[in-house]
Structure 1
């Protein structure tokens, strides 16, 4: 009885096929890490986020703490991570990762957000830059 060993090419095709099935016909080469830092001294930050339309869960981030999630970058499609957020009486919905906007702004596949009563700040080149004010 002969033992069958798949070729490297066949393994590559199988891996690609499983990737397409896993991501619903969209190939994801890697994930972007989205970090949310609660910069408030007193208020918890409540978030409910989606990545490419799929829920990633709700988080309550204590003051001066951080949590994160991953957003797969989809080849040939817009990748989007959106969060509903509330900090005390402040509330809003914000895009924390948009591949059309952030592929170069989020260095090393990492987006770091600093959120406080003044708004939402994205870390760009070592500086927290205001991106959104609370509505």
Structure 2
């Protein structure tokens, strides 16, 4: 009976490994996937007052910048099996503040496209997302 139980465990483990390699590319599952996240100041006239951004998550504080017109702030985000895979940013313009999820793996893993590029354009009337810098979709209001 002992020998039969070990075979079941080995067969079960082998089945799990095969299933995981067909669902997720092994290197992505084990080592994570790297995304490029970029936030662009899309305001049309804020030369006297910058758009301020500050980003962090549970593991990293990547800091922030004051963005003048058309400036951008970008970073690489690597998903991890053991992480929440989330990067939150706070945007501030004049007296207005808005916190938003600049990268959330459960939402962005597929919509960032095959090149794994996630771009935000922040303007006076909202936060727009694109994975190709051509098609923009409004996700958030101020």
Partner in structure 1 of residue 120 of structure 2: 113
How far off is 1:87 after superposition? 1.9
Considering only aligned residues, what root-mean-square deviation do their CA atoms show, in Å? Answer: 2.1
CA contact (8 A) 1:119 1:130 kept: yes
Q: Secondary structure at the match of 2:43?
A: coil
Q: Deviations over 1:50-96 (max 9, x none)?
A: 14541001111111221211222112543001101112232111001
Tell me, in whole angstroms, the C-alpha distance in 2 between the residues paired with 1:66 and 1:59.
Answer: 9
User: CA separation of 1:106/1:52 partners in 2, compared to 1, >3 Å: closer, same or farther?
Assistant: farther
How many residue pairs align between the two structures? 109
Structure 1 residue runs without a partner (length 5+) = 1-26
Match among 61, 65, 70 for residue 59 of structure 1 = 65
Partner in structure 1 of residue 45 of structure 2: 42
Instruction: Pick which of 72-81 and 92-101 moved more.
Output: 72-81
Matched, 1:29 2:32: yes
TM-score by length of 1: 0.71
Partner in structure 2 of residue 90 of structure 1: 96
Structure 2 residue runs without a partner (length 5+) = 1-29
TM-score by length of 2: 0.68
How far off is 1:28 after superposition? 4.3
Q: Secondary structure at the match of 1:127?
A: coil
Runs of 4 or more above 3 Å deviation: none
Larger strand share, 1 or 2: 1
User: CA separation of 1:53/1:84 partners in 2, compared to 1, >3 Å: closer, same or farther?
Assistant: farther
